[in-house]
Structure 1
């Protein structure tokens, strides 16, 4: 018996995310989750979908708070910021 995961692998979703069909939302959602989890940092990409994008931390300079630049983010924050962009591109 072929499972949904087997069908996803056979259908070539490694190359592109599955397309949404009006009457197949539930299976599409599962396939999208599997597709995202199969990407590098997949859990962070999926977390971005479920919880929204990273709220960029701010730092204070001369008494004025400003958002950190990408180059100032910690490694984990930078990976999450990258995952947010990947998540958006996958969905689009």
Structure 2
């Protein structure tokens, strides 16, 4: 059976995102960002975390062509088949970003924010929960000698 520090070390491997150490949110934030950059479409993953999920938008299909130009049908929601390859990659990155963040959270924090479905909400809530609760450098050093 492993202990907590072994779990944190294992979580920092290439196959798993870095595990949150609640005493140092800022460090975890930097490590998560580096981990995301190292993934395929890392820029899209970070964009999902920073800006929110990809919005597929709406479109109008061409139903006929006339002398005045194309005639368009009613506006509709776009579906995956309407997307370019780059847009599909961005859409997949949303899912990947959510998985990375949820896998990097400790179980008690995960339980508090797992109802969020997109990476930006998860990120913002984790940040709100933990950013103010970090130990100062003096607090960490005093714990070493207690």
Return the TM-score normalized by structure 2.
0.52
* Counterpart for residue 70 of structure 1: 80
User: How far apart in 2 are the matches of 1:66 and 1:19?
Assistant: 41
Q: Which residue of 2 aligns with 1:39?
A: 39
Aligned to 1:84: 94
Unaligned runs of 5+ in 1: 1-10
- Aligned structure 1 segments of 4 or more residues deviating by more than 3 angstroms: 61-64
Deviations 1:23-46 (A, max 9, x none): 110110011001100100111111
Please, which runs of 5 or more residues in structure 2 have no aligned partner?
A: 1-10, 62-71, 103-146
> Larger Rg: 1 or 2?
2
In the aligned structure 1, how far is the partner of 2:86 from the partner of 2:18? Answer: 28
How much has 1:12 moved relative to structure 2?
4.7
Cα RMSD, aligned residues only: 1.9
Deviates more, 1:23-32 or 1:51-60: 51-60
SS in structure 1 opposite 2:23? Answer: helix
Instruction: Answer yes or no: is the 8 Å Cα contact 1:36–1:45 preserved in 2.
Output: yes
- Taking the TM superposition and a 5 Å limit, the aligned residue runs for 1:9-48 are 12-48=12-48
